[in-house]
Homo-oligomer: A and B are copies of this chain.
Amino acid sequence: MVDSEIGDTIGDACEIPNIEFVEFSKDLRFCLESGKRFGPIKIAYKTFGKLNANKSNAILIFPTLTATQQVATEHINGKEYMGWWSDIVGRGKAIDTDKFFVICADHFGGCYGSTGPGSINPDTGKPYGLKFPGFFISDMVRATVEFLKQIGISKLHSAIGASIGGILLLELVALEKDLVGNALVVVASHQVSAQCLALNHIARQAIMLDSKWSFGNYYGKDFPKQGLSIARQIGHISYLNQAILEEKFGRELLNRKFRKHISLGQQYQIESYLNHQGAKFCKRFDPNTYIYLSKAFDTFDLAREFGSIGNAFRGTKTRFSITSISSDQLFLPEDSRRLHDLLMAAGIDSSYHEIASPKGHDGVFLEAENLSQIVKHAIN
């Protein structure tokens, strides 16, 4: 079950069984990029498969922006818990849990059990809300490194991440050059585009415009559903693309009786789809986490942080596999390709794969067969 700290409204729709927790030592006042010391920190994670004797089969999977630690599907007491990447991860899948020990942890700042804005601030006995410190991708990754240390993992056979997960992985290799054997970066690049910045900026404003947001103090009260729903809808437009929207929805009306006689009461299927996605999202995600994570996402810029891509990865033996989707409009293939070129130019082992697909950013979930081939090749 999701940590009870998180509030009644969040997580209802994503019951996650058998979450494990690592709590960093209370003495460890975690030093954030901003210079602030912060703690205590708890990381909520799940594992799938078994760690072998010489600990050489661990694979870390970073979640996407809003995914849980339930990366693979499980059946427990006759109930099925669907994994968000179950086409790629599981028994007999490209990341085979019969062979590998798969670790997936909720983000630092997340809302599926790790310490985040919805957690109780021990100084006040109330949820942090906006008192939660601002953090960057590097902070999230340092929390990941500490978490791995605490569970006794000092070497990863492989690590994989898509979208913000891919960004976290790039930062991980840059900060810990001996940790990761194979780094599989999917639909991500070394910096976030201007369009991403724009969309996230608008999404955050929508959340904060909701009067129920109350400057982040909504825990235990009325939840800013409408603002979060708009934020999610903006996200969905960027996960799809124009051609897919046209093919999937076009100008179809929800209610066909309006076909002949136009009416302002009519609703288009695309509107209904967006409403549905927005409403569904409100059952499982914390608006404050959305604000903090999207801000961390926006500020990611590896070349700015390390001076250059070459500097970021100098000395690593990690083998990169960079995968893009041809129709992705959130992370353009040319940006992923450029990352690969920069890696090659810096003498880093890298391979580049572009999946030809019309499915846009969402292809990361929909092009499982193509992606499985790439993953298998990279980790075996």
User: A interface vs B, CB < 8 Å?
Assistant: 33-34, 134, 136, 191-195, 197-199, 201-202, 205-206, 209-211, 226-227, 229-230, 233-234, 237, 242, 245-246, 248-251, 259, 262-264, 266, 268, 270-271, 274, 295, 298-299, 301, 304-305, 329, 332
Contacts and interface: CB of A to CB of B under 8 A. Distances in A.
B202 A301 contact: no
List the 4 closest A-B pairs by CB distance, nearest first. A134-B264, A194-B245, A211-B211, A201-B271
B329 A198 contact: no
Nearest to A191: B251
11 contacts: A34-B263, A192-B251, A194-B245, A197-B268, A198-B237, A198-B270, A198-B271, A199-B237, A201-B268, A201-B270, A205-B233
Question: Of residues A264, A329, A332, which shows the largest number of chain B Cβ atoms within 10 Å of its Cβ?
Answer: A264
A359 to B, nearest CB: 15
Contacts of A33: 262
A197 B245 CA distance: 10
B197 A271 contact: yes
A234 B264 CA distance: 22
Is chain A's interface secondary structure helix, strand, loop, or mixed overall? Answer: helix
A242 B209 contact: no
B202 A230 contact: yes
Nearest to A252: B194
B274 A202 contact: yes
A242 B301 CA distance: 18
Contacts of A193: 242, 245-246
B197 A270 contact: yes
A273 to B, nearest CB: 9
B259 A230 contact: no
Given A33-B262, A234-B202, A194 B251 contact: yes
Nearest to A208: B226
Given A201-B271, A271-B201, A304-B259, A195 B245 contact: yes
Contacts of A237: 195, 198-199, 202
A199 B345 CA distance: 40
Contacts of A304: 251, 259, 262
Nearest to A292: B264
Nearest to A200: B271
B206 A230 contact: yes
A17 to B, nearest CB: 35
